[in-house]
Amino acid sequence: MKKHWLALLTLLWTVALSAHADTSVWKVTKGDHYLYVGGTIHLLSRDDFPLPDGFSRAYQDSDMVVLETDMAALETAEYQREILMATTYSGDSSVLQHLSDDTVELLRDYLEERHMPAAPLFRLKPGMLSMTLTILELQQLGLTEAGVDQFFRLQALNDGKEVGYLESPDQQIQFLVDMGKGQEDELIRYTILEMERLPQDMDTIRAAWRDGDTQKLAAAGLERWVDRFPDLYDMILVDRNHDWIPEIERLLDTGDVELVLFGALHLVGDDGVLALLEDRGYQVEQVDW
């Protein structure tokens, strides 16, 4: 279960750009050098394959694949132990101590209705608890297949292409630990209340992602998070987007062609990767393969 926690981050928060094309892939050009950036969904169903053709064509034109982080490393026994220790309360502490009475009741009712074991879940810190509950719901919707990132990681390894990463596994663990700090009650309450919308939202997100329709992606998720959790929005999106820009700029200077894949929400909006690259003078165009 826990090996999929990072994948959920980009399913839960989605962003938009006023554009529509056949796929969620952009070409970024600097002089004679260019690379591709692709917006991904990390967990998919079997019906989502084959992937949109634009991803495959960008991959074929690329020398290297760059992903958010090394999920294979995070799935090792060593990192699984680190994740467990970092995202679980010690001693007699539990998430209940950070929740209002109303949210505790809401959480208990939710777990009882779905016949989930309460005691071990109460030991999880808010970020991990939110991810775990959402993973279980997505599994019920049939979203059990590894998504775009894992597909092309395996393809690159099979083809002998280099694979790089924007963030280290340690950064990812700390990111999960920090998620929801100071907003524990709001995060857990929102997670549970949004479950009723999840089937509809995921259908919309997957269809819009396949078509490159980022306006529909925004309507399915981003606006509610920006309005209710601006601090989380900054931590999950804005800060990381700014951190990634120097590495993307370095890749543009290599002379090779890279396919950089990360959650679709990171691409767009005023603080999105595409806008940040355009502000720096790079040519950014959505491919229409």
For residues 134 and 138, give the distance between their C-alpha atoms in angstroms, rounded to a whole number. 6
Residue 150: left if φ>0, alpha if ψ -120 to 50, beta else—which one?
Answer: alpha
State how far the Cα of 211 lies from the Cα of 41, in Å rounded to an integer.
Answer: 13
Kindly state the average pLDDT of the residues 22-38.
92
Rounded to two decimals, the pTM is 0.85
pLDDT over 90 at 46, yes or no: no
pLDDT band at 221 (very low <50, low <70, confident <90, very high): low
Closest CA to 287 of 66, 52, 64, 10: 52
Is the predicted pLDDT of residue 245 greater than 70, yes or no?
A: yes
- In the predicted model, is pLDDT for residue 244 greater than 70? yes
Residue 254: partners with Cβ closer than 8 Å, 6 or more residues away: 33
